[in-house]
C-alpha cells in the first residue's frame, strides 16, 4: 500500500512539471542523486564522492561543478520510492544512481519510469530489474545470470565438478541469486545443484553440514552477505570439511566503511569486481585510501565507475534528461576500474564476471586459461 501511495504521489507531482533540466548561467551546480540503503553504507557514497571530486577538479560541466545529493532508503518499506521522489522534485537532480538491494532498486526504478529520469544501478543484481524494459534503466554491475555463468563455467566446465551444493539465505537478493544460478546451470546443461537455506538467526546448521559432508559434495557456492561466509566458513573448518568454496560478489562487501577482511575468505573463490588487479584499479585504490582511510571493496568500485559514467555522459550530452538517456544507451566507457562498460538493449552491463581466489590474505585473479 505504501508503495502505491508513493507512485501516486509521483504522478500528482508530474502534473506540475519537474522543472528545467538545462543548466543556465544562474545555476551553480549540476546535481546527481545517489540512493544508499542506510546512512552507514559509506563505501558506495565514498566511491561516488571520489568520482565527483575528480570531475570537479577537471572543471565540472562547462565550469559548473557537479554536486552529489545522497539520500538513504532506510526506514519503512517504501522508502525507496519516497527518497527517489524527493531527489527528482525537491533536489531536481538530472540523474539517479542507486547502490541498493533489489527490492529498493525496484522502487527507485518505478519512480524513474514515471518521471523519465535516468536510473543507474551500481549494486542490485536482480534479473527482474532489467526485464521491466525501462529504456532509462541501466546497470553497471554484473547481474545474477552473468555471475552464475562465470561460476558455472569455472566449477562445472573447467574444474569438471558435478556434485555441487549452493547455500543461500532467506533475504530477497540471495533467493533471486540462487534461483538464477539453478536456472542458468540448467541452460548450460550442468548438473542440478543441491540447495540449502541458512537462516542468519543463529539456528543450528550442523545437520545441514553433515548432510553436505555425506553427499560427496565437491564444491559449495555461497549466495548472501558477508555474515553468511563469516558464519559458515568456521563451521566447515571445525568439521574438517575441505570443500572448494565459491561465492558471489555480495559475499565480500556489505558497503560498510572498512578494509576487506581477507582472512575470512582465505582459499575461497569469488566473483571479482576486477579493480584489484589492473593499473587503473590500483591507482583508484590508492586515491580512495588517501581520501577515506580504507581500501575500497566492490560496492565502492562499482559506485565510482557508475558515477564516472554518469558524469561522462552529462559532459558530452548536457544535463537534459532526454539527452542523457539517449547518450547512455550508446555508452562505451573504456576507463572503468572494473573494466570496460557498455550496455545491452535491456540496460545490463555487457560481458561476464571475472573470478579471483584469496591466497595468503591477498586476492589473486583466476585465469580462464589456467
For the chain of 370 residues, list the mean pLDDT of each consecutive stretch of 10. Answer: 46 42 61 95 96 97 96 86 94 97 94 94 96 92 97 97 95 96 97 90 74 90 92 84 93 86 91 95 97 96 98 95 91 95 96 94 83
CATH superfamily of 2-142+278-342: Response regulator (3.40.50.2300)
State how far the Cα of 24 lies from the Cα of 55, in Å rounded to an integer.
19
The residue extents of the domains of the chain are 2-142+278-342, 144-275+354-366
Q: Do domains 2-142+278-342 and 144-275+354-366 have the same CATH topology?
A: yes
Protein fold of 144-275+354-366:
Rossmann fold (3.40.50)
What pLDDT, on the 0 to 100 scale, is given for residue 1? Answer: 44
The interaxial angle of helices 2-14 and 79-89, nearest 10 deg, is 10
* 343-364 residues labelled b (16+ CB within 10 A) or e (exposed): beebbbbeebbbbbbbeeeebe
What pLDDT, on the 0 to 100 scale, is given for residue 2? Answer: 41
Phi, psi of 304 (to 5 degrees): -65, -50
For the chain, the residue count is 370
Nearest-10 Cα torsion for 266, 175, 190, 227: 10
- Confirm if 365 and 358 have CB atoms less than 8 A apart: no
Amino acid at each position: 500500500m505504501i508503495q502505491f501511495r508513493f507512485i501516486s504521489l509521483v504522478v500528482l507531482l508530474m502534473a506540475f512539471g519537474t522543472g528545467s533540466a538545462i543548466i543556465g548561467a544562474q545555476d551553480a551546480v549540476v546535481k546527481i542523486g545517489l540512493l544508499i540503503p542506510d546512512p552507514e553504507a559509506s563505501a558506495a557514497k565514498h566511491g561516488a564522492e571520489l568520482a565527483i571530486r575528480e570531475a570537479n577538479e577537471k572543471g565540472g560541466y562547462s565550469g559548473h561543478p557537479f554536486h552529489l545529493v545522497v539520500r538513504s532508503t532506510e526506514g519503512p518499506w517504501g522508502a525507496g520510492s519516497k527518497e527517489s521522489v524527493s531527489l527528482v522534485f525537491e533536489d531536481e537532480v538530472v540523474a539517479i544512481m542507486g547502490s541498493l538491494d533489489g527490492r529498493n532498486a525496484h522502487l527507485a526504478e518505478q519512480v524513474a519510469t514515471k518521471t523519465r529520469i535516468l536510473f543507474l544501478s551500481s549494486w542490485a543484481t536482480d534479473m527482474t530489474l532489467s526485464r521491466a524494459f525501462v529504456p532509462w534503466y541501466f546497470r553497471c554491475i554484473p547481474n545474477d545470470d552473468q555471475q552464475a555463468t562465470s561460476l558455472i563455467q569455472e566449477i562445472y566446465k573447467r574444474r569438471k565438478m558435478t556434485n555441487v551444493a549452493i547455500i543461500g539465505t532467506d533475504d530477497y537478493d540471495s533467493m533471486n541469486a540462487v534461483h538464477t544460478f539453478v536456472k542458468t546451470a540448467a541452460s548450460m546443461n550442468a548438473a542440478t545443484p543441491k540447495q540449502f537455506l541458512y537462516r542468519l538467526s543463529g539456528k543450528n546448521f550442523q545437520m545441514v553440514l553433515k548432510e553436505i559432508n555425506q553427499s560427496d559434495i565437491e564444491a559449495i557456492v555461497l549466495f548472501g552477505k558477508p555474515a553468511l561466509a563469516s558464519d559458515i566458513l568456521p563451521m566447515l573448518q571445525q568439521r574438517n570439511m575441505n570443500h572448494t568454496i565459491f561465492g558471489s560478489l555480495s559475499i565480500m562487501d556489505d558497503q560498510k566503511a572498512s578494509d576487506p577482511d581477507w582472512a575470512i575468505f582465505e582459499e575461497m573463490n569469488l566473483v571479482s569486481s576486477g579493480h584489484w588487479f589492473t593499473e587503473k584499479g590500483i591507482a583508484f585504490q590508492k586515491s580512495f585510501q588517501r581520501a577515506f582511510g580504507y581500501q575500497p571493496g566492490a560496492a565502492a568500485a562499482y559506485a565510482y565507475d557508475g558515477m564516472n559514467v554518469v558524469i561522462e555522459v552529462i559532459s558530452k550530452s548536457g544535463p537534459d534528461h532526454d539527452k542523457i538517456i539517449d547518450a547512455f544507451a550508446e555508452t562505451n566507457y573504456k576507463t572503468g576500474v572494473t573494466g570496460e562498460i557498455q550496455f545491452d538493449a535491456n540496460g545490463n552491463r555487457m560481458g561476464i564476471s571475472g573470478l579471483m581466489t584469496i591466497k595468503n590474505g591477498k586476492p589473486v585473479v583466476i585465469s580462464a586459461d589456467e
